[in-house]
Amino acid sequence: MVDRIDEAWIARGVRRAPFSRFLLWAAPWAALLLLGAYAIFLCLRDGLFHTNMDNRYVFGLWIFLDLTVIALGAGAFFTGFLLYVLRKTELKAVINSAVVIGLVCYSGAVLILAVDVGQPLRAWFTFYHPNVHSMLTEVTFCITCYLTVLLIEYVPVFLKNRRLKWKPSMLVFEYHLHKVMVVFALIGTLLSFFHQGSLGGLFGVLRGRPFAFREGLLIWPSTFFLFVLSAMAVGPSFVALTTGLAEKITGRRLVKNEVYQTLGRISGKLLLAYVFFKCLDTLLWINQTAPERGFPAHRFYEYGGAFGTWILFAEIALLGLVPALILLKPEWRARRGLLLGAAAMACLGVTLNRFVFTIQTLALPTMPFDRLLLYWPSWQEFAAFGFVVAYGMLVYSFSYRYLTLFPQERELAMTEARR
């Protein structure tokens, strides 16, 4: 009986696991969601002393991972831009999946931000009397507007559900919404561009923190542009990676190989450009920006260990240049394992970059008689972030099961059935 009801919601022509197996898959994520909800409740009820953040580590695991998921979620805006504006029509096969990933990443980030601030009920102050000079104001405005755009972009994906399509009004609404989607893709691109950039600007403008401070172009520090470029570079990689993982987990082919190739090629080109500009920026910082502020750059790496020069090498060469070269060479890119491996490396590279700006900046002392401090998150911090991961997995899993995330899946299933 339950299976029959469930089947009525699943799109025609595609196969899905039995409902009981789907529940087994969802149960651990639901348990993690509950644990995370409890941790969030503790932080909101009692205060942020439940975390291991302190007066030095004012940003911790949450902000670092927020920055990371937002960079990875850039696949949503950039795939939309490539499809609707640059007419890369083959990306139609992954746009729905990219929108769901973007929605999950951005809504998860907003949720964690609401827990991270000490007075979440005062969040509206930023809209009512904003400080226009603050990068955080730009972040707040853009993230809120772009989340709204993502919700609008999700509506047509949702309305394409087999049961909802029965209602003619839904179908008509979906049709008209689809016609104006190019407008939302453009708005989303603009908002996300500024949002990714202002997240980079958050650190680049810290003139009291020579490790993070960067020279600027007009009112924006170089990190503004580097964050945009790095997010654009890894966005398609993350879309390819999640699609590959979805294929592995479900055991089905979801998109044609050409889609992977397009995503990999675009990601590789942008990653190479990012590595080039990141090298220029680092050289400028080492030779000019940091010394001018009284801090020779080599002093930042004297502590070794977790914050040694290996970070710089890993971020730029190992997790930047290497995946870029793999993704750019057609023969290497053609091998799925290599392509997804390079995509994973690129994503790790951006994760490391966000770690450096969030955590390393705060770990390093500025005053000569102060010392390096380390920090390890509390279980509440891990659990609250687990909440976002579980929420993302559940939203994506339900969307995959009941909506059409990969329009090519049906065609590929039929081809395989014919064989």
* Candidate residues 23, 27, 31, 58; the one interacting with other proteins per rule CB under 8 A: 58
Q: Segment near other proteins (CB under 8 A), from 240-248, 273-281, 288-296, 332-340?
A: 288-296
User: Is residue 144 at the binding interface for other proteins, with CB under 8 A as the rule?
Assistant: no
Pair 36, 390: CB distance under 8 Å = yes
Q: Judged by CB under 8 A, how many residues of this single chain contact other proteins?
A: 47
Residue 380 corresponds to which tokens in the numbers above? 């509440």
CB of 283 vs other proteins, minimal distance in Å: 18
CB of 393 vs other proteins, minimal distance in Å: 28
Q: CA neighbours within 13 Å on the CB side: how many for 352? A: 21
Pair 101, 242: CB distance under 8 Å = yes
User: Is residue 126 at the binding interface for other proteins, with CB under 8 A as the rule?
Assistant: yes
Whichever of 137 and 148 has its CB closer to other proteins, that residue is: 137
Q: Which residues of 18-52 are buried (b: 16+ CB within 10 A; e: fewer)?
A: ebeebeeebeebeebbebbeebbebbeeeebebbb
Q: Segment near other proteins (CB under 8 A), from 45-53, 148-156, 255-263, 323-331?
A: 45-53
Maximum alpha-carbon separation in the chain: 73
CB of 208 vs other proteins, minimal distance in Å: 3
Sign of the CA dihedral 191, 125, 137, 129?
Answer: positive
Whichever of 251 and 368 has its CB closer to other proteins, that residue is: 368
Whichever of 32 and 202 has its CB closer to other proteins, that residue is: 202
Query: Interaction with other proteins in 267-286: which residues (CB under 8 A)?
Result: none
Would you call 294 helix, strand, or coil by DSSP? Answer: coil
Would you call 17 helix, strand, or coil by DSSP? Answer: coil
Q: Segment near other proteins (CB under 8 A), from 81-89, 178-186, 256-264, 293-301?
A: 293-301
Q: Segment near other proteins (CB under 8 A), from 10-18, 93-101, 127-135, 393-401?
A: 127-135
Query: Interaction with other proteins in 64-103: which residues (CB under 8 A)?
Result: none
CB of 353 vs other proteins, minimal distance in Å: 17
> Cα–Cα distance between 118 and 103 in angstroms, integer?
25
Pair 385, 61: CB distance under 8 Å = yes
Whichever of 51 and 96 has its CB closer to other proteins, that residue is: 51
Residues facing 221 on adjacent strands: 216
User: Is residue 133 at the binding interface for other proteins, with CB under 8 A as the rule?
Assistant: yes
Q: In whole angstroms, what separates CA 359 from the centre of its chain?
A: 18
CB of 204 vs other proteins, minimal distance in Å: 11
* Candidate residues 1, 8, 131, 169; the one interacting with other proteins per rule CB under 8 A: 131
> Cα–Cα distance between 91 and 84 in angstroms, integer?
10
Q: Is 226 exposed, middle or buried (0-12, 13-18, 19+ CB in 10 A)?
A: buried
User: Is residue 55 at the binding interface for other proteins, with CB under 8 A as the rule?
Assistant: yes
Q: Is 318 exposed, middle or buried (0-12, 13-18, 19+ CB in 10 A)?
A: middle
Sign of the CA dihedral 206, 211, 212, 218?
Answer: positive
* Candidate residues 13, 18, 294, 304; the one interacting with other proteins per rule CB under 8 A: 294
Element (H, E) at 272: helix 257-284
Element (H, E) at 216: strand 216-217
Whichever of 12 and 45 has its CB closer to other proteins, that residue is: 45
Residues 201-220 vs other proteins: string with x where CB under 8 A?
Answer: -x--xxxxxx----------
User: Is residue 8 at the binding interface for other proteins, with CB under 8 A as the rule?
Assistant: no
Q: Segment near other proteins (CB under 8 A), from 53-61, 83-91, 177-185, 251-259?
A: 53-61
Q: Which residues of 348-376 are buried (b: 16+ CB within 10 A; e: fewer)?
A: bbbbbbbbbbbbbbbbbeeeeeeeeeebe
User: Is residue 154 at the binding interface for other proteins, with CB under 8 A as the rule?
Assistant: no
Residues facing 216 on adjacent strands: 221
Whichever of 122 and 329 has its CB closer to other proteins, that residue is: 122
Query: Interaction with other proteins in 347-366: which residues (CB under 8 A)?
Result: 361-362, 366
* Candidate residues 293, 306, 310, 376; the one interacting with other proteins per rule CB under 8 A: 293
Whichever of 131 and 169 has its CB closer to other proteins, that residue is: 131
**Residues in contact with other proteins by the rule CB under 8 A:** 47-49, 54-59, 116-119, 122-123, 125-126, 129-131, 133-137, 140, 202, 205-210, 291, 293-296, 299, 361-362, 366-370, 373
